[in-house]
Amino acid sequence: VGRSAEVQPGDRTLADRYEIGRRIGRGGMAEVYLGQDTRLGRQIAVKLLNTQLAGEPSFRQRFRAEAQAAARMTHPTIVRVFDAGEDTFLRPDGHELIVPYIVMEYVPGQQLRDIIAEGPLPADKVEKYMSGLLTALEYSHRAGVVHRDIKPGNVMVTDDGDVKVMDFGIARAIADTQATMTQTQAVIGTAQYI
């Protein structure tokens, strides 16, 4: 994922607190690592955003604001955001990279995208997953936060079968930055799901 793939997990600690472990996910804008909050002694997920975005000061400002908005949302159907910031990574060539990160709740389970890929779902599962997804969206909209990129890849299904929507706020920060960078009114999101 951009230059963020150069970060070596296992020997890196963010903010003198979050230890980065193995990679557990990858997307177009970020990579997600299993981590440990050494201060609170809990397992977490750490999302390292693409460093190309970090070069845009307006993105970093929007990212912070959106991460704060996402962190205020506490609902069982939404993956909790615990912290966000940026850290500097030193590449082997000595060049420093600023990498924005998000520390969030680790959710054991599968992405809905992977479950769908296994084959058709029974009607009761579809109803349960959609009910959880719509509950998350209702809650977030009442809180004034619009996701902008709802798709199966942004929905986790826990080992107990419950739905948790992730990446609130991140999609908006990226979308706003891209719109500013291109100076156009572009449609934002994943085309298949808009």
Q: For residue 33, what are the β-bridge partners?
A: 23, 46
- For strands 96-105 and 155-158, give the pairing: unpaired
Rg of the chain, C-alpha, whole Å:
17
Name the catalytic one among 11, 87, 124, 149: 149
Our answer to whether residue 149 is catalytic in this structure is: yes
Based on the number of CB atoms within 10 Å of its own CB, is 105 exposed (0-12), middle (13-18) or buried (19 or more)? middle
- Rounded Cα distance between 48 and 45, Å, is 10
Cβ pair 67, 84 in contact under 8 A: yes
- Rounded Cα distance between 132 and 152, Å, is 13
Give the neighbor-by-neighbor strand order of the sheet with 96-105. 13-14, 18-26, 30-37, 42-49, 96-105, 81-90
Q: What is the dihedral of CA 116, 118, 119, 125, to 10 degrees?
A: -50
Among residues 164, 191, 193, 129, which one has the least CA distance to residue 45?
164
The residues assigned a catalytic role are 149
